[in-house]
Amino acid sequence: MSDPVNTFEAQQEGRPTGPLVQGYEVIIGFETHAQLSTASKIFSRASTAFGAEPNTQACAVDLALPGTLPVMNKGAVERAIQLGLALGSTIAPRSVFARKNYFYPDLPKGYQISQFEIPVVQGGAVSFFVGDESKTVRLVRAHLEEDAGKSLHEDFIGQSGIDLNRAGTPLLEIVTEPDMRSTAEAVAYAKELHKIVTWIGICDGNMQEGSFRCDANVSVRKPGAKLGTRREIKNLNSFKFMQQAIDYEIRWQIEEIEDGRAIQQATVLFDPDTGETRAMRTKEDAADYRYFPDPDLPPLAIAQEWIERVRSEMPELPRAMAERYVTTHGLSAYDAAQLTQSVALAQYFDAAVAAGAAPKLASNWITGEIARRLNAQDIAIGEAPVDAAQLAKLIVRIGDGTISNAAARQVFDALWTGEASDVDAVIEAKGLKQMSDSSALETIIDGVLATNEKNIAEYRAGKDKAFNALVGQVMKASQGKANPAQVNALLKTKLG
Ligand code: ADP
Ligand code: MG
């Protein structure tokens, strides 16, 4: 492998300068560990399920006990291929597993099986929006590797223990070029990558459980200077901490440099309690790890047919789906982007449309009323008390004139709060049906006109407000059941 620092430097040539912070340009590159959603480990049959009793899910292979041999999990490779295809990367026809040697209590076997010189996924890019600015972050690579165990510190008894359940869990480490130029861009990248891996289903994306962990490499430089020395913030497992950590790190580095101190390459941890980053160890170089090809594993060969089969089974990606919503349903690009925030949300929209909802109305309800309620209750669309079929029915009832928009909101509220489970039943029970009988409506209008001479006179004198007041009176007299459009039309005719 060529000298990584020089490679990164060369890749940055000709890139536009980012926004400056106190005269410094910020440079960020990400390494993300996505835990692959296989049932068993990357080289053994042990379960990957989260939350088991410590040390009940690590087998002899995960611990590399003498006499055992690792066997590649095909599902993990397939997921790596899926990611590569989703991000426009090259899938290496032949890649190599290597041993990364280091000592750590949670790695009793003394080495981690990873990929070094030849990773399975090479190149590719992630594109996303920061506000209304389109950004593209290039990937260097994504490689397969096994996770280590976990140290558990039981402060209350003053002891630490090792849980090896996580040892051998399949990871895909996704590495970017140092292409990001601000905290906002870095967080947006991480969110987009998270969306993609969960969308294609290769990772459950659960950040609290550690299924999606980001390392942010941060450096600063004067515009036009060579890349500065980076510090790597490890294991950011929430977007909020990610933002706080990177912001803090940028300020800290600038202050150090301004105070005349050079930045030392280091691995740092973010402490959410203090909001600060703290050096954990000085950074190792690749040479420290004594990488060598793992003698227990043959090179990973991926035939073109396999890649093509995976390609043919790939789900439609969020970008393509959003474009389709714009072209076939006439949605705005903004609404389409909102609806493709997650597979579940897009599926909900698709289901509502398939059940007969007008796409624009379905989009308005989902990105408006429903999004607001999901947010307020902090729940996901999968937990929404109103399913897509009921939303569609509600929209159909608005469209066919059965209920007004105002009544629809009442119906929706009854469904959401669990008061009832069917649109028609609520309409019936609450007597929300709009008046469709125009002679009954005319009687009401005549009554209103007979007692509102002042408004009539004002309307004739050209005051729009007076007309609205009359509509309001009619709506009130009909107990909200009149069709406002019909009221408008009838009133206009009657007033001449
Ligand atoms: P490791 O951290 O494992 O040694 P690499 O040397 O391949 O791995 O670099 C990892 C990450 O550091 C990449 O995401 C890359 O974009 C980022 N990076 C490299 N140089 C810089 C820099 N000067 N400033 C910020 N990020 C950088
Ligand atoms: Mg690193």
Last residue of a domain, one of 251, 273, 306: 306
CA atoms of 286 and 2, how far apart (whole Å) = 11
Give per-residue pLDDT as tens, 257-313: 999 999 999 999 999 999 999 998 776 777 889 999 999 999 999 999 999 999 999
Give the model's pLDDT for residue 462. 87
Residues 6+ apart with CB under 8 A from 82: 200, 202, 310, 314
Note the ligand closest to the C-alpha atom of 28. Answer: 1
Note the ligand closest to the C-alpha atom of 8. Answer: 1
| 1 assigned to some structural domain | no
CA atoms of 260 and 131, how far apart (whole Å) = 36
Helix (H) and strand (E) counts in the chain = 17, 18
Question: pTM for the whole thing?
Answer: 0.82
Q: State yes or no: pLDDT of 5 exceeds 60.
A: no
Q: Is the CB of 175 under 6 A from ligand 1?
A: yes
Q: Are residues 298 and 352 in the same domain?
A: no
Q: Is the CB of 119 under 6 A from ligand 1?
A: no
Instruction: Please tell me which of 47-51, 182-186, 316-320 the model is most confident about, judged by mean pLDDT.
Output: 182-186
Give the model's pLDDT for residue 221. 97
Q: Are residues 280 and 409 in the same domain?
A: no
Give the model's pLDDT for residue 4. 54
Percent pLDDT > 90 in the chain is 79
Query: Which DSSP letter does residue 262 get?
Result: P
If you measure from the C-alpha of residue 232 to the centroid of ligand 2, how many angstroms do you get, rounded to a whole number? Answer: 7
Q: Is the CB of 143 under 6 A from ligand 1?
A: no
Which atom belonging to ligand 1 lies closest to the Cα atom of 227?
23
CA atoms of 334 and 131, how far apart (whole Å) = 11
Instruction: Give me the mean pLDDT over the 116-137 stretch.
Output: 92
Instruction: Choose among 94, 96, 142, 93: nearest CA to 115.
Output: 96
Question: What does each C-alpha distance from 478 to 424, 428, 495 come to in angstroms?
Answer: 20, 16, 19
Q: Is the CB of 114 under 6 A from ligand 1?
A: no
CA atoms of 200 and 142, how far apart (whole Å) = 16
If you measure from the C-alpha of residue 252 to the centroid of ligand 2, how many angstroms do you get, rounded to a whole number? Answer: 20
If you measure from the C-alpha of residue 286 to the centroid of ligand 1, how many angstroms do you get, rounded to a whole number? Answer: 12
Q: Are residues 366 and 267 in the same domain?
A: no
Q: State yes or no: pLDDT of 42 exceeds 60.
A: yes
Q: How many CB atoms lie within 10 A of CB 282?
A: 9
Instruction: Choose among 139, 141, 159, 140: nearest CA to 151.
Output: 159
| 126 assigned to some structural domain | yes
| 365 assigned to some structural domain | yes
Give per-residue pLDDT as tens, 363-382: 999 999 999 999 999 999 99
Strand-pair partners of 142: 121, 174
Instruction: Give me the mean pLDDT over the 36-44 stretch.
Output: 98
Give the mutation target among 217, 236, 289 for probing the ligand 1 site: most ligand atoms within 8 A of CB: 217
Last residue of a domain, one of 306, 331, 351: 306
> Got the DSSP string for 28-94?
EEEEEEEEP--SB-SSSS-B--TTPPTTSS--TTTTT-TT------HHHHHHHHHHHHHTTPEEPSE
CA atoms of 111 and 291, how far apart (whole Å) = 9
**What mean pLDDT value characterizes the chain?**
93
Q: Are residues 424 and 465 in the same domain?
A: no
Give per-residue pLDDT as tens, 75-116: 999 999 999 999 999 999 999 999 999 999 999 999 999 999
Q: Are residues 422 and 444 in the same domain?
A: no
Instruction: Choose among 34, 134, 147: nearest CA to 100.
Output: 147
| Closest C-alpha residue for ligand 1 atom 11 | 29
Q: Which of 237-246, 349-358, 379-388, 481-490 has the lowest mean pLDDT?
A: 481-490
Q: Give the count of domains, the chain.
A: 3
Give per-residue pLDDT as tens, 473-496: 998 888 878 888 888 889 999 887
Q: Are residues 55 and 114 in the same domain?
A: yes
If you measure from the C-alpha of residue 145 to the centroid of ligand 2, how many angstroms do you get, rounded to a whole number? Answer: 14
| 300 assigned to some structural domain | yes
- How would residue 31 be classed by pLDDT, with cut points 50, 70 and 90? very high
Give the model's pLDDT for residue 45. 97
Q: Is the CB of 228 under 6 A from ligand 1?
A: yes
| Closest C-alpha residue for ligand 1 atom 2 | 232
Give the model's pLDDT for residue 1. 47
Give the model's pLDDT for residue 247. 98
Q: Is the CB of 177 under 6 A from ligand 1?
A: yes
Q: Is the CB of 249 under 6 A from ligand 1?
A: no
Residue carrying structure tokens 């119906």: 411
- Ligand 2 (ion): which residues have CB within 5 A? 31
CA atoms of 409 and 321, how far apart (whole Å) = 29
Cβ atoms 459, 468 nearer than 8 A: no
Q: Are residues 326 and 354 in the same domain?
A: yes
* 98-119 exposure pattern, b = at least 16 Cβ within 10 A, e = fewer: bbbeeeeeebbbebbbbbbebb
CATH number, domain containing residue 471? 1.10.10.410
CA atoms of 312 and 391, how far apart (whole Å) = 32
| 342 assigned to some structural domain | yes
Instruction: Give me the mean pLDDT over the 422-450 stretch.
Output: 88
Strand 231-236 versus strand 266-271 pairing type: parallel
| 2 assigned to some structural domain | no
- Domain span holding position 408: 316-430
If you measure from the C-alpha of residue 9 to the centroid of ligand 1, how many angstroms do you get, rounded to a whole number? Answer: 10
Give the mutation target among 2, 7, 174, 230 for probing the ligand 1 site: most ligand atoms within 8 A of CB: 230
| 91 assigned to some structural domain | yes
φ, ψ (nearest 5 deg) of residue 467: -65, -45
CA atoms of 200 and 319, how far apart (whole Å) = 12
The CA-CA-CA angle for residues 34, 37, 43, to 5°, reads 90
Instruction: Give me the mean pLDDT over the 428-451 stretch.
Output: 87
Which atom belonging to ligand 1 lies closest to the Cα atom of 218?
25
Q: Is the CB of 232 under 6 A from ligand 1?
A: yes
Which atom belonging to ligand 1 lies closest to the Cα atom of 179?
16
Q: Are residues 331 and 301 in the same domain?
A: no
Note the ligand closest to the C-alpha atom of 231. Answer: 1
Cβ atoms 138, 327 nearer than 8 A: no
Which atom belonging to ligand 1 lies closest to the Cα atom of 5?
20
Q: Are residues 392 and 275 in the same domain?
A: no
If you measure from the C-alpha of residue 215 to the centroid of ligand 2, how many angstroms do you get, rounded to a whole number? Answer: 7
| 311 assigned to some structural domain | no
Note the ligand closest to the C-alpha atom of 31. Answer: 1
Q: Are residues 460 and 332 in the same domain?
A: no
Q: Are residues 31 and 130 in the same domain?
A: yes
CA atoms of 274 and 5, how far apart (whole Å) = 32
Give per-residue pLDDT as tens, 274-287: 999 999 877 677 78
Q: State yes or no: pLDDT of 2 exceeds 80.
A: no
Which atom belonging to ligand 1 lies closest to the Cα atom of 219?
24
Question: What does each C-alpha distance from 145 to 14, 25, 239, 286 come to in angstroms?
Answer: 33, 33, 24, 16
Give per-residue pLDDT as tens, 107-121: 999 999 999 999 999
Instruction: Give me the mean pLDDT over the 441-446 stretch.
Output: 90
Q: Are residues 254 and 336 in the same domain?
A: no
